[in-house]
A and B are shown apart, each in its own frame.
Chain A
Amino acid sequence: MTLTSPLAAIGRAFLALLASFGRIVIFAGQVFVLAPRRPFYLRECGQALVQIGWFSLPVVGLTAVFTGGALALQIYSGGSRFNAEAVVPQIVAIGMVRELGPVLVGLMVAARVTSSIAAEIATMKVTEQIDALVTLSTNPMKYLTIPRVLAGTLTVPLLVGIGDIIGVMGGFMVATGQLGFNRAGYIQNTVDFLTLPDIASSLVKGAAFGFIATLIGCYQGMRSGRGAQGVGAATKTAVATASVLILAANFLLTSLMFSQ
C-alpha cells in the first residue's frame, strides 16, 4: 500500500470504463455495418417487434398516467406559491413530452426489455446455442442482435408517443377532476402550447433510447460469463449500463436540441 495506490485504483476503474465504452461503440458499429446486408431474418424481426413494442404497452401506459397525474399536482401546488396555478396544462405538456415521457419510457424499456434480452442471449451463450448458431452458418449478430435493435429503435419512439399522450391525459384527469380545471380549456391550452419540435424531440429521444436499451441487452448477453452466475451478472450489468447511458444520452440530446 503506497500513497498513490488509491489514485491507481481510480485510474484503473476509469480506464476500464473507457475500454468498455469503446467495446460498445465497436459493437454498435458492427450492427450498422451488418444491418443492411443479407440475409434478413424477417420472422425474428416480427417477433422482436411484438415482444419489445406491443408487450411493453401496459407498463408504459401505467408509468405515464401516474407520472402525468403527479406532475399536475406538483405544478399546481408549486405554482400556487406565486399565483401561477393556471400554467398546469402547459408545464405538464412540456414536462411530459420533452423530458419525462422519453426518459421514463426509456428506463421502463431498460428494465423490461434490456433485462430479458440480456438474460435470453446470455443463457443461449452459456448453453452453447450461440456456438450452435455459428456452426449452422448463421451469424448471431444478424440473427439475434439486429432484429432486436431494429425493433427497439422503431417501436420505442411509438411507445414514447403513446406515453406522452397518456401522461398528458393523466395530468388532464387530475387537473379537471381534482383541481377544478375546465376540460375544453385544458386541452386547448395543451394543444396550443406544444410545438412540432417538442414532439419531434420526444420521438428522437425515444429512438435513441430504444437503440441503447436493445443494443446493451444484446452486448452484455453476448459477453456473458459461464453458468447461471454469468447470466445473472450479464443481466444486472446490462440494466445498469443501459439506464445510465439512457440518462446520459437524454442530457446530451436535451442540450443539443433545446439550448440556444
Chain B
Amino acid sequence: MIALTGVEKTFGANRVLRGVDLQIARGSSMVIIGGSGTGKSVLLKCVLGLVSPDAGRITLDGEDVAHAERDAFLARFGMLFQGGALFDSLKVWENVAFRLLRGARKRPKAEAREIAIEKLRRVGLRPEVADQLPGELSGGMQKRVGLARAIAAEPEIIFFDEPTTGLDPIMAGVINELIREIVVEMGATAMTITHDMTSVRAIADNVAMLHGGLIRWTGPVADMDATSDPYVQQFIHGRAEGPIASVR
C-alpha cells in the first residue's frame, strides 16, 4: 500500500501541492484526474523520490520512502513518463530492455531482446520497430515504447503518466486494456494520470481528483458519476462553466 499524508511541494512562488492525502491499496488501480498544471506529475515524482516534498510523509507498505534503500525501492517500480523520456541514443529495444541489460537483473542480450520485442508487441508495436531509434518514431509510438519499458521488468508498482494522450482511439483502447490486464493478471498496483474519461472508466478501481493542490474527491469509480462534488462533475462532463476557472 502507498500512503501519502499531508504532502506539500512549492516551486518558487508556485504552491503546487498543499497537503495531499491519498491511499492506494496493493493490487488496485488508482486513477488521478485534474486539470493540466495541477501537479499530478509532480505527485508521482514525489512518490518516486525524483522530487523531494517540502512537507508530509509518503510510505510504501508502512516504510517511509525517504529512508528506503534506493535501489531495492526503485526496483519495485516502473514509470511511464508524460513525454516518454526515451533515451534517444539507444535503439528502441535497448530502451525497453534497459533494466534487463544492466545491473542486478541482467540477462543475456538475446534473451533481453526477445523480452523487449514481446513487450513491444503487447503495446501494439511491430518487431521491426525494435531496431529503430526513438527519434524515428511518431509521438504516439514513442509513448508506447515508454510504456513497454515501464512494464518490461514486470514491476509490482507501475505509474503511468498520461498513457493514452496522443494516441488514436483504437490504440488508446488497446493501452487501456493492457493496463487493466497488468493490474488484474499480474496483481500490480497502478497509479495512472489521465484526462481521458474513457480511460478512467476502463482502468480505474478508484479515482482521485487533484485540484488546488489538494485531493478534492476520491472514491470508487462507480461512485464518480453520482457524486455531488461540483468540481468532479464539471471535470467529467468537460463543462466550461463551473467552479474550476478556465484561465489557470
Q: Chain A residues in contact with chain B, CB under 8 A? A: 39, 41, 124, 127-129, 131-138
Whether A136 contacts B98 in the complex (CB less than 8 A), given A128-B83, A131-B85, comes out as yes
Of B72-80, B115-123, B204-212, B216-224, the one touching chain A: B72-80
Is B102 a contact of A138 with CB atoms below 8 Å?
Answer: yes
B82 to chain A, nearest CB (A): 8
Q: B105: nearest residue on chain A (CB-CB)?
A: A137
With contacts A127-B85, A131-B85 taken as known, whether A39 is within 8 angstroms of B102 at the C-beta atoms is yes
- 8 nearest interchain CB pairs? A128-B85, A132-B85, A135-B79, A128-B81, A137-B74, A131-B50, A136-B98, A129-B85
Residues of B within 8 A of A (CB): 45, 48-50, 71, 74-75, 77-79, 81-83, 85-88, 98-99, 102-104, 149
Residue pair A136, B99 in contact (C-beta under 8 Å): yes
Cβ contact of A137, chosen from B71, B83, B87, cutoff 8 A: B71
Distance of A131 Cα from B81 Cα, bound (Å): 9
Cα A180 to Cα B77 in complex, Å, equals 73
For this complex, 30 residue pairs linking A to B, each with C-beta atoms less than 8 Å apart, are A39-B102, A41-B102, A127-B83, A128-B82, A128-B85, A129-B85, A129-B87, A129-B88, A131-B50, A132-B79, A132-B81, A132-B87, A133-B87, A134-B48, A134-B49, A135-B50, A135-B74, A135-B77, A136-B74, A136-B98, A136-B99, A136-B149, A137-B71, A137-B74, A137-B75, A137-B99, A137-B103, A137-B104, A138-B98, A138-B102
Rounded to whole Å, the gap between the CB of B44 and the closest CB of chain A is 10
Q: Closest approach, in angstroms, between the C-beta of A250 and any C-beta of chain B?
A: 33
Q: Is the interface of B mostly helix, strand, loop or mixed?
A: mixed
Within 8 Å CB of A132, what residues of B? 79, 81, 85-87
Residue from A39, A127, A134, A138 within 8 A of B50 (CB atoms): A134
Residues of chain B within 8 A (CB-CB) of A133 are 87
What is the bound-complex CA distance between A138 and B87, given in angstroms? 13
CA gap between A134 and B74 in the complex, in Å:
8
